[in-house]
């Protein structure tokens, strides 16, 4: 059982959403000039990972990575600056939104679907040969589980009982393709049996359910029992990327998910029902976070862009 109070999860989710809303603003203003994928609607999964992740664990994420970075403890200021393509960013504006790397927190990401798994497996192997109780965690979307890399990695991890956990954010679509139309089994979690792995499907709108299941998966991997697959179902509220016409989902479907599947609203409801928090307290959390990120955006905007003449810098160490 994760023992992080729901109010803390709530705060984390609120911050994640505000962070991505600020990114959307940067996209609209063209300060972010390439693709942008937000995780709005999926906050409960990232927030649910945070409690069971030690800073020495490695997390490798996807194109939709901002929330996982925040969950891993990446400095939000440096992350925002990176997404806004600034010299002060995590990677000095070289990587951008799809490619943040942070040595301090063992966090990284990839824009190539499925490619998070092999890298996380490499970390897992390192921890295994060093006999460290750390875990290599890969996040992938549902779509990413249909890559060959998924099978290859799960097999290797299962064969040698490597400390490897795969978190599947199942938001039902890979861009426009409904995942159900391209899966051989009803769930992704049930594939675990084929690899001698721990497997579970959870309601990814429920931050506590995610936190509990993830803690269990991590415990399994940490104790030398081998890999785990945690499938968490959720809805992506925005298009696949900002600017996506999103014609593959009906207006009603999108309205309904915002009304019924919003993890932040669900947590708010629970907190109020249990009396753990009052409306004004929760509103204060939102207000405080909004102020904090608003100030961060203003500071990031004042940061310099990478100097054009340094385009070759960092290609080689020597």
Partner 1 sequence: MSRNLSCSQIVAEAIGIEMERDERIVVLGEDVGAIGGVFGATRDLQRRFGDKRVRDMPISEMAFTGMGVGLAMAGYRPIVEVMFADFIGACLEQVYNAMAKIPFMSGGTMRMPMVLKTAGGCIGSAAQHSQCLWGLFAHLPGMKVVTPGSPYDYKGLMASALEGEDPVVYIEHQSQMSKKAATFRHGAEVPAERYTVPIGKAAVARQGRDLTLVTLSACVEQSLEAAETLFSEHIDVEVVDLRTVVPMDIETVAGSVARTQRLLVVDEDYLSFGVSGEVVARVVELLGTTAVKQVGRHGNPDVPVPAAKTLEDAVLPRAGSIANAVRRMAAAS
Give contact residues for ligand TPP (rule: CB under 6 A). Answer: 63-64, 111-114, 140-144, 169, 171, 173-175, 240
Q: Nearer to ligand TPP by C-beta: 4 or 246? A: 246
Q: Which residue lies nearer to ligand TPP by CB, 54 or 182?
A: 182
* Rounded Cα gap, residues 27 and 315, in angstroms: 27
Cα atoms in the 13 Å half-sphere on the side-chain side of 13: 30
Among 85-93, 210-218, 259-267, 288-296, the segment contacting partner 1 (CB under 8 A): 85-93
Q: Which does 171 bind (CB under 5 to 8 A by kind): partner 1, ligand TPP, none?
A: ligand TPP
Is the CA virtual torsion 122, 123, 127, 133 positive or negative? negative
How many residues lie near partner 1 (CB under 8 A)?
A: 46
User: Residues 20, 43, 57, 85: which binds partner 1 (CB under 8 A)?
Assistant: 85
- Told to check if 113 binds partner 1 by CB under 8 A, we report yes
x-or-dash pattern for partner 1, window 9-48, by CB under 8 A?
------------------------xxx-------------
Closest separation in Å from C-beta 29 to partner 1: 12
Residue 73, CA distances (Å) to 47, 57, 69 in order: 11, 11, 6
Q: Does 144 bind partner 1 (CB under 8 A)?
A: yes
Helices 76-83/279-301 angle, 10° precision = 50
Bridge partners (DSSP) of residue 231 are 168, 201
Q: Which helix (H) or strand (E) holds 219?
A: helix 207-222
Pairing between β-strand 177-178 and β-strand 173-174 as defined by DSSP bridges: antiparallel
Q: How far apart, in Å, are the Cα atoms of 285 and each of 14, 178, 290?
A: 8, 36, 8
Under the rule (CB under 8 A), what is the footprint of partner 1? 33-35, 82, 85-87, 91, 93-99, 110-115, 143-144, 146-149, 174-177, 181-183, 245, 247-248, 305-312, 315
């Amino acid at each position: 059982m994760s023992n992080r109070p729901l109010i803390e999860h709530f705060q984390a989710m609120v911050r994640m959403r505000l962070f991505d809303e600020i990114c959307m603003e940067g996209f609209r203003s063209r300060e972010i000039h390439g693709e942008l994928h937000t995780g709005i609607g999926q906050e409960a999964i990232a927030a649910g990972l945070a409690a069971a992740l030690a800073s020495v664990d490695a997390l490798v994420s996807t194109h939709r990575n901002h929330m996982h970075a925040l969950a891993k403890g990446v400095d939000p200021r440096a992350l925002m600056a990176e997404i806004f393509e600034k010299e002060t960013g995590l990677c000095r504006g070289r990587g951008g939104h799809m490619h943040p790397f942070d040595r301090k927190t063992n966090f990284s990401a990839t824009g190539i679907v499925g490619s998070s798994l092999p890298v996380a497996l490499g970390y897992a192997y390192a921890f295994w040969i060093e006999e460290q109780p750390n875990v290599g965690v890969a996040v992938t979307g549902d779509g990413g589980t249909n890559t060959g890399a998924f099978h290859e990695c799960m097999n290797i991890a299962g064969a040698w009982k490597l400390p490897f956990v795969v978190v599947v954010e199942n938001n039902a679509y890979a861009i426009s393709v409904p995942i159900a139309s391209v899966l051989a089994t009803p769930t992704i979690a049930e594939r675990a049996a084929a690899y001698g792995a721990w497997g579970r499907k959870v309601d990814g709108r429920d931050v506590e359910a995610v936190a509990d299941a993830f803690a269990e998966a991590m415990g399994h991997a940490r104790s030398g029992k081998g890999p785990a697959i945690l499938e968490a179902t959720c809805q992506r509220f925005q298009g696949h990327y900002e600017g996506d016409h999103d014609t593959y989902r009906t207006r009603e479907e999108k309205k309904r998910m915002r009304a019924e599947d919003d993890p932040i609203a669900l947590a708010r409801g629970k907190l109020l029902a249990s009396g753990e928090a009052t409306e004004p307290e929760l509103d204060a959390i939102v207000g405080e976070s909004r102020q904090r990120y608003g100030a961060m955006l203003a500071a990031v905007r004042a940061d310099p862009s990478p100097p054009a003449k340094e385009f070759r810098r960092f290609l080689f160490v020597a």
